[in-house]
Structure 1
Amino acid sequence: MSRLIVVSNRVSVPKARGAAGSQGGLAVALGSALRERRGIWFGWSGKETETYTGDINMQKNDGVTTATIDLEAQDVDEYYNGYANRTLWPLFHYRIDLAEYETGFGKGYERVNKRFADSLGPLIEPEDMVWVHDYHLLPLGSRLRERGNKNKIGFFLHIPWPPRNLLVALPFHERLVLTMLDYDLIGFQDEESVDSFLGYCRKELQADVREDGTVTYDGRSVKVAAFPIGLDYDEFLEGGQSGEARQAEQRMRSSSRHRKVIIGVDRLDYSKGLPERFDALGRFFDTYPDRVAQTLYVQIAPPSRQDVVSYQRIRNTLEQKAGQINGERSEVDMVPIRYVNKGYPRQALFGIYRSAHVGLVTPLRDGMNLVAKEYVAAQDPEDPGVLVLSRFAGAAEQLKDALLVNPYSLEETSEAIRTALDMPLEERKARWEKLNEVIKTSTVEQWRSDFVEALSA
């Protein structure tokens, strides 16, 4: 069996399934594959160095070998904070108005991808398969080819791929896409992203695009397909039996004081549609004022990328909106919104999800959104809650029995909240059973197996 080399911006040291403080399903699934195939997980250490040396720090943890490099402060600023998160991230999430195009960002991005290739290349043996992850490393496959690596190299994008008419706003977009054609397999979260990528190749590159998703350009072919990522379902349910999960559920139920709970769990990011969601909740309370005393909305929003101005703005906006909604509708002993700026362990989240009558997952654009799947998996089969899901999340392609909404429409989202809160038990159970079957059978292990098998082929 050939070795598997996993490459990502940052390396997550996998722990044993069920271990205290263990990571989410992605790290567990990749760790399992790396153990099976004696592989290596390569990426940035997260540390900065005054002068880049290319020195590799090799470690072995729980049977998984990791290899990391340090980057210079300029690298981090231009490659990570700059091109990856201030240029590609907003553009790929359809926020062309927030994308910043700086020459230094692009140069830093290319420089770091070359450094990754130069450090990783000598570690790759002739029969190894290489699996590159996410938007930080789009050209890495091409950089590896330039230095002579002829291995099978696959790429998976965890975020959406934008339509052609948005991507062409990116300077040197054609050069970036051409580097991706040096992969053997390109995977996306959903069919919409696949269609957008193939449409770009067909119209901008005049490449030959076959019905099976094979793109041929300049004598080279690459297969493009959707590989929707899932949960580590068994591990997640096992965590739900923990004392931490039960305590979190009980704490939520007792503190809600018999009100129906709506839950939102999102990283603090403009792609998650949080201002629009708060406005829709305000619309719901205005339309159904009697529900204010009967309903509690809990928004958990851990901060992220706090040094990027657009993220500072969204935090300020949400604090203002939450304060306004509560200020206008609260009583001395009751507030309709709890807005929490910190994260919780997955076991605690299981209990919080289970206590909620409605899961409100309304991103403006998302590659997949595993919160939607976690909410469904955490429900009591005898009394399940209802998932309200943005049709612009990748998960919507699979979770068709959720209440799908347009998150830009305050009225549509408001009415979906009312429908979910009032839904009869029989319908709730019927919807949940179909959703849960999808989630139970399309796990992160299946995702990993499908991708590696396709790359092997």
Structure 2
Amino acid sequence: MSRLIVISNRVTAASAKGGAQGGLAVALTAALRESGGIWFGWSGEQTDQFTGHINFTRSHGVTTATIDLEEQDIEEYYNGYANRTLWPLFHYRIDLAEYERDFAHGYQRTNEWFAETVYPLIEPDDMVWVQDYHMFPLGQELRRRGLKNRIGFFLHIPWPPRRLLTTLPEARTLVESLLAYDVVGFHTREWLLSFCDYAREDLGGVIDENDVLTVGTRKVRLLACPIGIDAEEFAALAASPVAQATHDRVHRSAVGRALIVGVDRLDYSKGLEERFLGYERFLLENPAERKEVVLLQIAPPSRADVESYQRIRNTLEGLAGRINGAHAGLDWVPIRYVNQGYPRDALAGVYRASRIGLVTPLRDGMNLVAKEYVAAQDPADPGVLILSRFAGAADQMPEALLVNPHSAEEIADAIGRALAMPLDERQRRWQALMEGVTREDVIWWRKRFTDALAAVAADPPATASAEP
């Protein structure tokens, strides 16, 4: 069996005691345990001078190989192009996207260094799987160094509509670099079709009935392949001693009130401001019920060096303070707003104690919190998932209460409906959701993608490494 070489921006072998963030870390750890191989990427650490030195470790059954980056690389490649240019643009926030040549140059340079460093680690029969928007050009750089292995790429965020993508000065170069891959995967068919639209209109590409894109002599298989979680493992976590202790602690703290939970990185794409306003709308429209509920919002900070993330934190702190000041009583505070992460087993206990899981991103490639919430529920008395119709997970989870996260009215109405939902309906919806989460889990995702990659011919044509 061929080894699997996974390449991503950050490398974190996850465990049951891992942090609350990082659904991708959990998924890739499970995939590598299943398939073997190496996980390569940035260590998250800074060095005074890039040397190409690789740090090898083995943790939780996964071999990792990491490199440190210089301060300039971190600023231009990661904080700059990845998180101040690509992330907002691909989440439809062109008002926040910053287009700086230094960012683009640093992004390209760092990907060249990644390619130069990982290339000697790849054996002839290995399959290479590159992850996410930090590394669009990596496959092309590996081809330029002579790599003939099968290489796949998976995008974990949305692919924007063509009219938005064309605002990126390097849009054509970026899309052409993806032609170096044999398989390019997306979470949903919507993101896949958006990519096809650009490839067809701007590159003259042709897409056949099997979703094979042809541009010139190069063929790339496009795949809609939604990521999952290890549902059985997460359900077991919800029954663990730590989860039970957390469940009991949270349940007692609610003092008989229905708990609504949100768990998100502190990010403008997650719709937290709109969520708070929707919850406040519920409080205003339901005065008899408002003291019977409490919203626990867990929002660990991220990307603190990026100004737009500093702004969203300040906005949410002000909004939570205003809502609590306007509505709280001597014995009740409507919002508990927590800026820290928790281990996965503790989170499982929080999910299980919550009557409602509120997952309302404005735009999200998938959203694994929705799936974790379902997996953690008590089958005899499950909670209700309220889910944004603009999350990739919505395609797989129609039994959730789907809402427009921009509408405070829809969020408020869904909260009211969830609180009033009878037990038999909650059980019926949960059963259908759990069957889907279990059937299309992380192993299904990995196998669907790697099977597609294994099916393509090796030794791609020279056009894949042509200069843009």
1:194 matched to which residue of 2?
Answer: 192
Provide the rounded CA distance (Å) in 1 between the counterparts of 2:61 and 2:409: 52
Report if aligned partners of 1:25, 1:232 keep a CA contact under 8 Å in 2: no
The Cα of 1:73 is off from its aligned counterpart by 0.5
Contact 1:26-1:444 within 8 A present in 2 as well: no
Partner of 1:404: 402
Distance 1:317 1:439, change over 3 A: same
Give the distance between the partners of 1:269 and 1:312, measured in 2 at CA. 10
Q: Which residue identity is paired with 2:98?
A: E
- TM-score of the two chains, using structure 2 as the length reference: 0.94
**Contact 1:232–1:444 (CA<8 Å) still a contact in 2?**
yes
Counterpart in 1 of 2:231? Answer: 233
Provide the rounded CA distance (Å) in 1 between the counterparts of 2:172 and 2:399: 38
User: Could you say if the C-alpha distance between residues 289 and 94 of structure 1 is closer, same or farther in structure 2, counting changes exceeding 3 Å?
Assistant: same
Determine the structure 1 residue equivalent to 2:13. 13
Larger CA deviation: 118-127 vs 262-271: 118-127
What letter is aligned with 1:245?
A
What letter matches 2:70 in structure 1? E
- Look up the SS of the partner of 1:289 in the other structure: coil
Amino acid at match of 2:13: V
Q: Which runs of 5+ in 2 are unaligned?
A: 456-468
Q: Does 1:148 align with 2:137?
A: no
* CA–CA distance in structure 1, aligned partners of residues 81 and 363 of structure 2: 19
| Superposed counterparts of 1:223-302, under 5 Å | 223-302=221-300
- Equivalent AA in structure 1 for residue 161 of structure 2: P
Residue 254 of structure 1 deviates from its aligned partner by 1.1
Q: Structure 1, residues 100-140: CA drift from partner, whole Å, max 9, x if none?
A: 00000000000000011111112212211100001000110
Counterpart in 1 of 2:100?
Answer: 102
**C-alpha displacement of 1:249:** 0.9
- Decide whether the 8 Å contact of 2:31 with 2:442 is kept in 1: no
Change over 3 Å in CA distance of 1:247–1:407 after alignment to 2: same
Note if contact 1:25-1:444 (Cα within 8 Å) is conserved in structure 2: no
Describe the SS at the equivalent of 1:5: strand
Q: Which residue of 2 aligns with 1:431?
A: 429
Aligned mates of 2:210, 2:112 — CA distance in 1:
31
Q: Does the C-alpha gap of structure 1 residues 404 and 29 become closer, same or farther in structure 2, counting only changes over 3 Å?
A: closer
Instruction: Note the C-alpha offset of 1:34.
Output: 3.6
Structure 2 equivalent of residue 309 of structure 1 = 307
- Contact preservation (8 Å) 2:76, 2:106: yes
Tell me the amino acid that sits aligned with residue 162 of structure 2: R
Aligned residues: 454
CA distance in 2, matches of 1:415, 1:187: 35
- Residue 327 of structure 1 aligns with which residue? 325
Amino acid in the other structure paired with 1:256: A
Matches of 2:354 and 2:34 in 1, distance apart?
Answer: 38
Worse-superposed segment, 122-131 or 363-372: 122-131
Q: CA, structure 1 residues 33+400, in 2 after alignment: closer, same or farther (shift >3 Å)?
A: closer
User: Would you say the 8 A contact 1:189–1:229 is kept in 2?
Assistant: yes
Q: 1:28 to 1:289 in 2, by over 3 A?
A: closer
User: 1 CA distance for matches of 2:270 and 2:26?
Assistant: 25
Paired position in structure 2 for 1:125: 123
Q: Which residue of 1 aligns with 2:459?
A: none
How far apart in 2 are the matches of 1:348 and 1:93? 30
CA offset at residue 33 of structure 1? 4.5
Amino acid in the other structure paired with 2:128:
V
Change (3 A) 1:363 1:21: closer
Contact 1:278 1:322 in 2 (8 A): yes
What SS does structure 2 have at the residue aligned with 1:383? coil
In structure 1, the residue matched to 2:3 is: 3
Structure 1 residue 59, shift from structure 2 partner: 2.9
Q: CA deviation at 1:61?
A: 3.4
Q: Tell me, what secondary structure is at the counterpart of 1:293?
A: helix
**Residue in structure 1 matched with residue 204 of structure 2 by the alignment:** 206
What is aligned with 2:458?
none
From the superposition, tell whether residues 22 and 51 of structure 1 become closer, same or farther in structure 2 (CA, over 3 Å): closer
Structure 2 residue 217 is the aligned partner of structure 1 residue 219: yes
Q: 1:159 aligns with which of 157, 160, 173?
A: 157
Report Cα offsets for 1:22-56 as digits up to 9, x if no partner: 88775455345545655121111212111211122
The TM-score with structure 1 as length reference comes to: 0.96
Identity %: 60
Once residues 22 and 306 of structure 1 are traced to their aligned partners in structure 2, the CA distance between those partners, rounded to angstroms, is 18
CA distance in 2, matches of 1:21, 1:83: 28
Give matches, 1:362-441, under 5 Å.
362-441=360-439
* Paired amino acid for 2:185: G
Q: Distance in 1 between matches of 2:232 and 2:280?
A: 37
Q: Could you tell me which amino acid in structure 2 is paired with residue 92 of structure 1?
A: F
- Could you say which structure has the greater relative contact order, defined with CA pairs below 8 angstroms and 6 or more residues apart? 2
Query: More displaced, 290-299 or 182-191?
Result: 290-299
Separation in structure 2 between the aligned mates of residue 36 and residue 237 of structure 1, nearest angstrom: 19
| Separation in structure 2 between the aligned mates of residue 25 and residue 95 of structure 1, nearest angstrom | 23
**Aligned amino acid, residue 451 of structure 1:** F
> In structure 2, what is the Cα distance between the partners aligned to 1:261 and 1:2?
47
Asked if the contact 1:84–1:136 (Cα under 8 Å) also holds between the matched residues in 2, the reply is yes
Q: How much does 1:357 deviate?
A: 1.0
8 Å contact kept, 1:94–1:166: yes
**Superposed displacement of residue 336, structure 1:** 1.1
- Using the alignment, how far apart are the partners of 1:329 and 1:394 within structure 2? 34
The AA in structure 2 aligned to 1:149 is L
**C-alpha distance after superposition, 1:82-114 (max 9, x if no partner):** 000000000111111000000000000000000
d(CA) in 1 for partners of 2:231, 2:421: 26
Change (3 A) 1:13 1:298: closer
Q: Secondary structure at the match of 2:180?
A: coil
